[in-house]
């Protein structure tokens, strides 16, 4: 059995990643050696190494040249300027030896540059890539590509409503700017709330009342959007600018009991699997 190939990932604050591979000393590489990133289809850990080298032009595969970097080390670089579509990318090494690319395992990551990352607000399009280990322990990247982007910061679950503070990238709030909660279930009107703006920083409070009034049964999710101006398309509010690939478990918020005609509801913010901000309204029966 060939030895496992591990890659150490080093992040820079601009969004670039360097992959350092540990390989057995004497491992030869050819001009065509590459670190291969493949956009996951379906769930994690079902990706196969099949595909070969003939579909490199496809958007769902990125090949980064893999070159020697000292004895037993190979290096590949994913610059911030290379755009990766939003999604989960699995990492493989193609040593250029004619064999199928091999799945990479995570090594020691240095992601300190991602913690509290704060790019310039004027940035046109924001690229975020966070390395992580899949359930089976393979190396993968979580990627987002957004412009404009509304980054969620502190969230307060207060007595009147949920107050969200954040920062807008790639757009300036203008007349008509507001935040909006949109029900994921059909047949409910969006709830719009006014926005307080200070430079790129925004803040709004989503009161519980209207969400509670719309509740019919079970657990009802609402997605939060920011509309920077009357004539601009709305922007999804998300939390992307740090080193945590999956926010829901880490950035966890209490749910507030809210009285309603049908009984006591619970309303609280949470992050979706894509780290977008949402609010869940749960009825007396729908709770776990």
Among 55, 100, 110, 230, binds another protein (CB under 8 A): 110
Q: Which stretch binds another protein (CB under 8 A): 63-71, 74-82, 150-158, 211-219?
A: 150-158
Three-class secondary structure of residue 108 per DSSP:
coil
d(CA 271, CA 242): 14
Q: Report the Cα–Cα distance between both ends of the chain, in Å, rounded.
A: 45
> Sign of the CA dihedral 186, 189, 190, 191?
negative
Told to check if 99 binds another protein by CB under 8 A, we report no
d(CA 149, CA 121): 9
Told to check if 230 binds another protein by CB under 8 A, we report no
Longest dimension (CA), the chain: 73
Told to check if 243 binds another protein by CB under 8 A, we report yes
Phi, psi of 169 (to 5 degrees): -115, 135
Whether 60 contacts 40, CB under 8 Å = no
Told to check if 7 binds another protein by CB under 8 A, we report no
- The number of beta carbons lying within 10 Å of the beta carbon of residue 36 is 24
Told to check if 97 binds another protein by CB under 8 A, we report no
Token couple for 81 = 């300027």
d(CA 174, CA 92): 45
Instruction: Report the residue number, 159 or 261, with the smaller CB distance to another protein.
Output: 159
Among 83, 122, 156, 285, binds another protein (CB under 8 A): 156
Among 8, 94, 180, 276, binds another protein (CB under 8 A): 8
Q: Which stretch binds another protein (CB under 8 A): 90-98, 218-226, 246-254, 257-265?
A: 246-254
Among 30, 43, 252, 285, binds another protein (CB under 8 A): 252
Told to check if 213 binds another protein by CB under 8 A, we report no
The residue length of the chain stands at 288
d(CA 227, CA 163): 16
Ramachandran region, residue 122 (left: φ > 0; alpha: ψ -120 to 50; beta: rest): alpha
Instruction: Report the residue number, 39 or 104, with the smaller CB distance to another protein.
Output: 104
Q: Which stretch binds another protein (CB under 8 A): 37-45, 102-110, 178-186, 208-216?
A: 102-110
d(CA 128, CA 239): 11
Q: Which stretch binds another protein (CB under 8 A): 36-44, 182-190, 193-201, 243-251?
A: 243-251
Q: Which stretch binds another protein (CB under 8 A): 75-83, 111-119, 171-179, 225-233?
A: 111-119
Told to check if 111 binds another protein by CB under 8 A, we report yes
By CB under 8 A, how many residues form the interface with another protein? 22
- Binding interface with another protein (CB under 8 A): 8, 106, 108-112, 115-116, 133, 154-157, 243-244, 249-254
């Amino acid at each position: 059995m060939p030895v496992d190939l591990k890659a150490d990932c080093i992040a820079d604050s601009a969004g670039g990643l360097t992959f350092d591979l540990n390989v057995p000393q004497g491992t030869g590489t050819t001009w065509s050696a590459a670190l291969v990133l493949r956009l996951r289809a379906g769930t994690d850990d079902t990706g196969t190494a099949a595909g070969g080298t003939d579909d490199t032009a496809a958007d769902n595969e990125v090949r980064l040249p893999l070159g020697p970097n000292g004895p037993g080390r190979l290096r590949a670089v994913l610059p911030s300027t290379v755009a990766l579509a939003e999604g989960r990318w699995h990492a493989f090494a193609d040593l250029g030896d004619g064999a199928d690319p091999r799945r990479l395992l995570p090594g020691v990551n240095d992601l300190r540059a991602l913690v509290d990352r704060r790019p310039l607000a004027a940035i046109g399009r924001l690229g975020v890539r966070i390395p992580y280990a899949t359930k089976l322990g393979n190396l993968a990247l979580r990627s987002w590509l957004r412009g404009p982007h509304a980054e969620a910061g502190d969230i307060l679950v207060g007595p009147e409503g949920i107050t969200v503070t954040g920062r807008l990238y790639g757009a300036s709030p203008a007349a008509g700017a507001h935040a909006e909660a949109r029900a994921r279930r059909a047949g409910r009107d969006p709830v719009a709330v006014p926005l307080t703006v200070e430079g790129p920083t925004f803040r709004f409070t989503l009161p519980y009342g209207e969400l509670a009034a719309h509740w019919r049964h079970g657990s009802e999710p609402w997605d939060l959007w920011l509309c920077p101006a009357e004539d601009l398309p709305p922007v999804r509010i998300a939390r992307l600018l740090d080193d945590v690939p999956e926010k829901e478990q880490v950035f966890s918020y209490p749910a507030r009991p809210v009285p309603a005609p049908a009984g006591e509801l619970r309303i609280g913010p949470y992050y979706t699997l894509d780290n977008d901000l949402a609010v869940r309204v749960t009825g007396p029966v729908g709770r776990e």
